[in-house]
Amino acid sequence: MATFVLIPGAACDPSYWQPLAAELRTRGHDTVSVDLPCEDDTAGLAEYADAAVDQIGDRTGLIVVAHSFGGFTGPLVCERVPVDLLVMLTAMIPSPGETPGEWWSATGHDQATREEVEDIYYHDVPAELAAEAEKYSRGQSGTPSKEPWPLPAWPNVPTKFLLCRDDRLFPAGFMRQVVRERLGIAPDEIDGGHMVMLSRPAELADRLVGYL
């Protein structure tokens, strides 16, 4: 049995992981849907990692799944506890010393997403489920976005990147290039948008379990 540690993106309540967590549990695995202190102006990246480690407790067989802005936290967790695999799920990939606020221009995201699109997050999520998920949106403090990513290099842990082909926030072509440049690997791909854990939870669970 593995323990999937699900690290959310910005301004997200961990409840948006519920459909995926349920699918993973039916496949015989444990899950931790991490609750980050995203509304706390005194909490930065270190405190986000602290929160994740505290909620992991003494669990073992850890697979860290970092979504979106959670990409800045996931690798920090891997430096703190024994992790078998880090999965970056359509996530921001930090470089040493880079702040999350700098990431957008440093990666060329602004040029890659000049075209205006509607419904960036929930365009492929069933309407009823999207409405439920939006109820759990939270405030996001700007504190962690101003802090340099503290690791001198990527943690020594096996890493996969799973991009979403229909993602409107992090378009597939853009992310393929970022993954090659920053991780030196070819990303794996899945159909679905940025909130793939809501639009395709069973398919995503199969992909994650397949990594075992």
Reduce the secondary structure of 61-118 to three states and give it as a string: CEEEEEEHHHHHCHHHHHCCCCCCEEEEECCCCCCCCCCHHHHHHHCCHHHHCCCCCC
Amino acid at 100: P
In this predicted structure, what is the pLDDT of residue 113? Answer: 76
In this predicted structure, what is the pLDDT of residue 111? Answer: 82
* pLDDT tens for the chain, residues 1 to 212: 999 999 999 999 999 999 999 999 999 999 999 999 999 999 999 999 999 999 999 999 999 999 999 999 999 999 999 999 999 999 999 999 999 999 999 999 988 776 666 789 999 999 988 888 887 788 999 999 999 999 999 999 999 999 999 999 999 999 999 999 999 999 999 999 999 999 999 999 999 999 99
CATH number, domain of 153, equals 3.40.50.1820
**Number of folded domains in the chain?**
1
Query: Within its chain, how far is the Cα of 155 from the centroid?
Result: 16
In this predicted structure, what is the pLDDT of residue 118? Answer: 75
Could you tell me the residue range of the domain that residue 15 belongs to?
3-210
8 A C-beta contact, residue 48 and residue 14? no
In this predicted structure, what is the pLDDT of residue 116? Answer: 65
Other Cβ atoms within 10 Å of 107 Cβ, number? 21
Alpha helix locations (H) across the chain? Answer: 18-26, 45-56, 74-78, 100-106, 109-112, 127-134, 172-183, 196-199, 201-210
The pTM score is 0.96
Q: How far is residue 153 from each of residues 86, 164, 211, measured CA to CA in Å? A: 15, 25, 24
In this predicted structure, what is the pLDDT of residue 110? Answer: 82
Nearest to 71 by CA among 42, 24, 109: 109
